[in-house]
Copies of this chain bind each other. A is one copy, B any other.
């Protein structure tokens, strides 16, 4: 069957991993998806060391991919706002479907992007933008399509949860664990988005938009991070039988939708209190 030809923009941790999965699992994917997925072109500044693009049509100009007539689907993994926005809109203008993991782009420019995609009749898919390892967007949009969703809440920033987990388990200070997370590559050199709750607010904005079928409204989310939480706060919470978790919470209320991102006290025995570290437990 006619293959789907993708162009991957960005070959960092996410882009390189995507390239490797599409290459390594090509047969499984073709069988399960019903048609092969081939990598037509990649655009990159640098390449993740695990990623071998020998024999692949490569360019340093992402806009070449957005205008390449042989590309059916552009995969935007360069991150950021402005160039990513222009890249995605250019791809849409050229009739390409778009796949992106860029939560900031969707949360801030999503309404404009979705409108353009709708007018062009192309799809913008962004499952990996929220909880990359969990297909929560598909589950909300399709799996729970017949449900009236009253609230959505969860731990939606792995870096923050890594920091809170180690602060609690080891009684260490925020700055100390953050430095460790940066050294391990779990936290960016500029950790603002993660530790000030902006990343979580981006994700909550996207989840709420899908759960309630409303436009994206990032600017309306109350956003508080974990950077002011001290070892004493964590210890006091523990003495009182609670765990401090940073949650994204959205609810239907009489005044309309509520979007808030902030640290919360959760009773130790509750499920959310026992989600530890940077990702879902692997076993």
Interface size on A, residues (CB 8 A): 33
Chain B: minimal CB distance from A131 (Å): 11
Report A124-158 CB contacts with B as 1/0, cut-off 8 Å: 00010000001100110111111110010100000
Measured CA separation A274–B139 after assembly (Å): 23
Which single residue of chain B is at the shortest CB-CB distance from A26? B146
A21–B281 touching, CB < 8 Å: no
A146–B269 touching, CB < 8 Å: no
Q: Which stretch (A29-37, A42-50, A222-230) binds chain B?
A: A29-37
Which single residue of chain B is at the shortest CB-CB distance from A28? B148
B29–A145 touching, CB < 8 Å: yes
Tell me the A1-53 residues at the B interface (CB within 8 Å).
21-22, 25, 28-29, 31-33
Inside 8 A of A141's CB, which chain B residues have their CB? 32
Measured CA separation A93–B28 after assembly (Å): 31
Chain B: minimal CB distance from A93 (Å): 25
Measured CA separation A146–B26 after assembly (Å): 9
Measured CA separation A147–B138 after assembly (Å): 15
Stoichiometry, copies per complex: 2
Q: Which of B32, B151, B153, B269 contacts A145 (CB 8 A)?
A: B32
B213–A148 touching, CB < 8 Å: no
A21–B146 touching, CB < 8 Å: yes
Q: Which of B29, B138, B144 contacts A142 (CB 8 A)?
A: B138
Q: Which of B22, B139, B144, B153 contacts A146 (CB 8 A)?
A: B22
Chain B: minimal CB distance from A189 (Å): 30
Q: Is A275 engaged at the interface, CB distance under 8 Å to the other chain?
A: yes
B281–A274 touching, CB < 8 Å: no
Q: Is A240 engaged at the interface, CB distance under 8 Å to the other chain?
A: no
Measured CA separation A153–B271 after assembly (Å): 17
Inside 8 A of A213's CB, which chain B residues have their CB? 28, 31-32
B135–A139 touching, CB < 8 Å: yes
Chain B: minimal CB distance from A158 (Å): 15
29 A-B pairs (CB sep. < 8 Å): A21-B146, A21-B147, A25-B146, A25-B147, A25-B148, A28-B148, A28-B213, A29-B146, A31-B213, A32-B141, A32-B146, A32-B213, A33-B145, A127-B143, A134-B139, A135-B138, A135-B139, A135-B142, A138-B138, A138-B139, A138-B142, A139-B143, A142-B142, A269-B274, A269-B276, A271-B274, A271-B281, A273-B274, A274-B274
Q: Which A residues form the contact surface with B (CB < 8 A)?
A: 21-22, 25, 28-29, 31-33, 127, 134-135, 138-139, 141-148, 151, 153, 213, 269-271, 273-276, 281, 283
